[in-house]
């Protein structure tokens, strides 16, 4: 009978956690991209997201994970799969998500953290220094999502937000008394 070493069991459990994490992240990202594809025709004012300075390093990490998955081919399945799932996420999914244009759509706002429908927005905040950042706060959980606005589009964004408020789609909660 073969004795399983403690460190092998711990490593397998760690690899299982990595595999589960990247599988869930990939499924969530694909769902996010599908939602964008459905919203794409309804874009009112959009722009490319800011360049991610970590992007090339993340893709490089993905290629390193791909090389490790090849090395781990003969190991237990979870060892191989954890590295393959990580490689797929960093090489394919991360670049795919960076292609989603940020901005205002007919049904809501696509910020850096995802899409928020007009009716789900409880508050808006604008910070104009050093760059223009619109903070969209979800009504349900109070979480704020950032949307960096190009200076050239700031006036148009303000007009569209005003138009959505006048149409009744955007109903902000009253501000806090100071």
Average pLDDT rounded to a whole number, residues 35-57? 91
3-state DSSP assignment of residue 131: coil
Partners of residue 47 on adjacent β-strands: 102
- Residue 2 — pLDDT band, cuts 50, 70, 90? low
Q: Which residues pair with 20 in a beta bridge?
A: none
Residue 3 has pLDDT above 80, yes or no: no
Please tell me the distance from the alpha carbon of residue 64 to that of residue 70, in angstroms, as a whole number. Answer: 10
Angle in degrees, 0-180, between the axes of helices 77-88 and 6-39, rounded to the nearest 10: 30
Q: How far apart are CA 156 and CA 101, in angstroms?
A: 16
Share of the chain above pLDDT 90, in %: 65
Pick from 130, 126, 127, 131: nearest CA to 161:
126
Measured between alpha carbons, how far is 63 from 90 in angstroms, rounded to an integer? Answer: 8
Asked whether the predicted pLDDT for residue 5 surpasses 90, the reply is no
Residue 62, helix vs strand vs coil: helix
DSSP 132-174: -EEEEEETTT--EEEEE--GGGHHHHHHHHHHHHHHTS--PPP
C-alpha span between 168 and 172 (Å, rounded)? 10
The pLDDT tens digits for 91-101 are 999 999 999 99
pLDDT of residue 107: 94
pLDDT of residue 178: 36
Mean pLDDT of the 113-119 span: 93
The pLDDT-based confidence of 79 (bands split at 50, 70, 90) is confident
Instruction: Name the average pLDDT for the chain.
Output: 89
What residues are paired with 136 via a beta bridge? 124, 145
How sure is the predictor about 4, in pLDDT bands with cuts at 50, 70 and 90? low
The average pLDDT across 39-66 equals 91
Render pLDDT for 132-157 as a digit per residue (tens, 0 to 9).
999 999 988 889 999 999 999 999 99
pLDDT at 177: 39
Contacts of 152 (CB under 8 A, 6+ apart): none
CA 123 to chain centre: 21
């Amino acid at each position: 009978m073969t004795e399983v070493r403690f460190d092998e069991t711990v490593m397998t459990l760690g690899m299982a956690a990595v595999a589960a994490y990247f599988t869930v992240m990939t499924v969530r990202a694909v769902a996010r991209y599908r939602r964008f594809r459905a919203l794409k025709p309804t874009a009112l004012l959009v722009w490319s997201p800011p360049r991610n300075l970590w992007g090339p390093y993340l893709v490089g990490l993905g290629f390193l994970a791909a090389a490790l998955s090849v090395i781990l081919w003969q190991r237990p399945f979870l060892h191989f799969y954890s590295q393959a799932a990580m490689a797929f996420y960093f090489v394919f999914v991360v670049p795919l998500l960076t292609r989603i244009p940020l901005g205002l759509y007919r049904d809501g706002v696509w910020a850096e953290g995802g899409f928020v429908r007009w009716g789900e927005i409880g508050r808006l905040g604008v910070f104009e220094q050093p760059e223009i950042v619109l903070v969209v706060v979800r009504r349900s959980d109070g979480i704020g999502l950032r949307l960096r606005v190009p200076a050239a589009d700031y006036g148009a964004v303000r007009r569209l937000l005003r138009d959505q408020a006048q149409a009744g789609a955007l109903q902000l909660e009253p501000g806090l008394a100071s």
